[in-house]
Amino acid sequence: MKISTRFSDSIHILAFINIYKGKVPLTSNTLASSIETSPVVVRRLMSALSKAGLINTKHGVAEPELAADPNDISLYDIFLAIEGDAPLFTIDERTNPECIVGGNIQETLNEFYNQAETAAKAKLAATSLEDVIETIKVKHAQKKAAQRKKD
Amino acid sequence: MKISTRFSDSIHILAFINIYKGKVPLTSNTLASSIETSPVVVRRLMSALSKAGLINTKHGVAEPELAADPNDISLYDIFLAIEGDAPLFTIDERTNPECIVGGNIQETLNEFYNQAETAAKAKLAATSLEDVIETIKVKHAQKKAAQRKKD
DNA sequence: ACAACATGTAACTAAATAAATTACAATTTG
DNA sequence: CAAATTGTAATTTATTTAGTTACATGTTGT
């Protein structure tokens, strides 16, 4: 199955908390404005991030904080928090067991799909939230510079 | 979005054609029985596989055949035929461009997601239909042997 | 104490996607 | 030309995801 925007929105939330901490109030409303979704969606994602131990939140207080250094949070940690063990590819589970193919395709594809998934997840595990935040900052600086030039 | 069962069903079709060619009539009905879906679903997938040049079919004739040696058809070829350039991960495209994060998250995640996707697709590209067929046959043989033992 | 503001969640609705079905025109073959 | 089959469009159904409404619970400052 395709991985939903929940994953990208969660990365968004964590990056936002890190970049804007102390500069703007970190309410679910503020975050929702940046993501352009509803505050409830944000709170739902933050609840999952909190349960996974990636952020610390306090009921009633708009001061969420990262539970670890951005260098120590990988995209795969975030993926796990939000999608758990959701597979990237879907295997058709309902095939005819009487058939040589239908009776063995699941186990077979499971092996090969796992190889592909593990390769992708390894890349996610090798990318830290810090990498994402730095890239965001670089791209932002580039845009600002380009804008100045035009004036 | 999740990658649908279309991908696994397509691999199923190709493996079935190779394994059962000459042994059973390869109608969309026969294939549908093995996959436990409807003949129309099978024909739709075969239409895509045919357009991608992976199989040859003739209108009105139940004799589809692989257009290449199973060693020369990779799982990524099949993926491309069915899913095209569909991404494994979805990026939320509608975020606030005024925000440092919202304005740069897409480009940023696009980079990192691409790395992960490319790693997964490389594994698919490194796996041939022949690998899948052989694994299916081995698993089938194992099951048959285990069954004999019981008797 | 209480008003204003938040979070945390449950329950529901709406939208998007995929699978299955229905229907039928076009093609092949004996 | 009849029977069997493919190819494809159009529709329905099922599933999943995003968004909304509602509200109980917690916090803070006065």
Q: pLDDT tens across B43-80, in order?
A: 999 999 999 999 999 999 999 999 999 999 999 999 99
Helix (H) or strand (E) holding B63: strand B61-66
SS3 A27: coil
* Sequence-ordered list of residues with C-beta below 8 angstroms from that of A27, at least 6 positions apart, any chain: A39, A62
In the predicted model, is pLDDT for residue B3 greater than 70?
no
Residue B47 backbone phi and psi in degrees, to 5: -60, -45
Q: From A102, A81, A82, select the one nearest A91 (Cα to Cα).
A: A102
In the predicted model, is pLDDT for residue B2 greater than 90?
no
Helix (H) or strand (E) holding A114: helix A105-125
Q: From B19, B80, B149, select the one nearest A104 (Cα to Cα).
A: B19
Whether A95 sits with its Cβ under 7 A from any strand C atom: the answer reads no
Q: Find and list the nucleotides of strand C having atoms within 7 Å of a protein beta carbon.
A: 5-11, 17-23, 26-29
Would the CB atoms of B109 and A103 count as touching at under 8 Å? no
Instruction: Please count the CA atoms within 13 angstroms of the CA of A23 that sit on its side-chain side.
Output: 9
B83-121 pLDDT, tens digit per residue, is: 998 899 999 999 999 999 999 999 999 999 999 999 999
What is the pLDDT, as a whole number, of residue B89?
93
Would the CB atoms of A115 and B131 count as touching at under 8 Å? no
pLDDT tens string for chain A (151 positions)? 466 899 999 999 999 999 999 999 999 999 999 999 999 999 999 999 999 999 999 999 999 999 999 999 999 999 999 999 889 999 999 999 999 999 999 999 999 999 999 999 999 999 999 999 999 999 999 999 999 987 7
If one counts every other C-beta atom within 10 angstroms of the C-beta of residue A131, the result is 17
Whether B50 sits with its Cβ under 7 A from any strand C atom: the answer reads no
Would the CB atoms of B105 and A8 count as touching at under 8 Å? yes
Q: Work out whether strand B61-66 and strand A61-66 pair parallel, antiparallel, or are unpaired.
A: unpaired
In the predicted model, is pLDDT for residue B1 greater than 60?
no
A42, B102 Cβ separation under 8 angstroms: no
A24, A135 Cβ separation under 8 angstroms: no
A103, B33 Cβ separation under 8 angstroms: no
* Sequence-ordered list of residues with C-beta below 8 angstroms from that of B11, at least 6 positions apart, any chain: A105, A109, B75, B78, B129, B132
Distance in angstroms (rounded) separating the CA atoms of residues A11 and A31: 12
Helix (H) or strand (E) holding B42: helix B39-51
If one counts every other C-beta atom within 10 angstroms of the C-beta of residue B146, the result is 9
B55, B73 Cβ separation under 8 angstroms: no
Distance in angstroms (rounded) separating the CA atoms of residues B9 and B12: 5
Residue A64 backbone phi and psi in degrees, to 5: -70, 150
Mean pLDDT of chain B: 94
In the predicted model, is pLDDT for residue B7 greater than 60?
yes
What is the pLDDT, as a whole number, of residue A2?
63
| Nearest chain B alpha carbon to A37 | B95
Residue type at B141? A
In the predicted model, is pLDDT for residue B26 greater than 60?
yes
Distance in angstroms (rounded) separating the CA atoms of residues A51 and A64: 13
Distances (CA, A) of A95 to A20, A100, A113: 51, 11, 18
Whether B37 sits with its Cβ under 7 A from any strand C atom: the answer reads yes
If one counts every other C-beta atom within 10 angstroms of the C-beta of residue A47, the result is 12
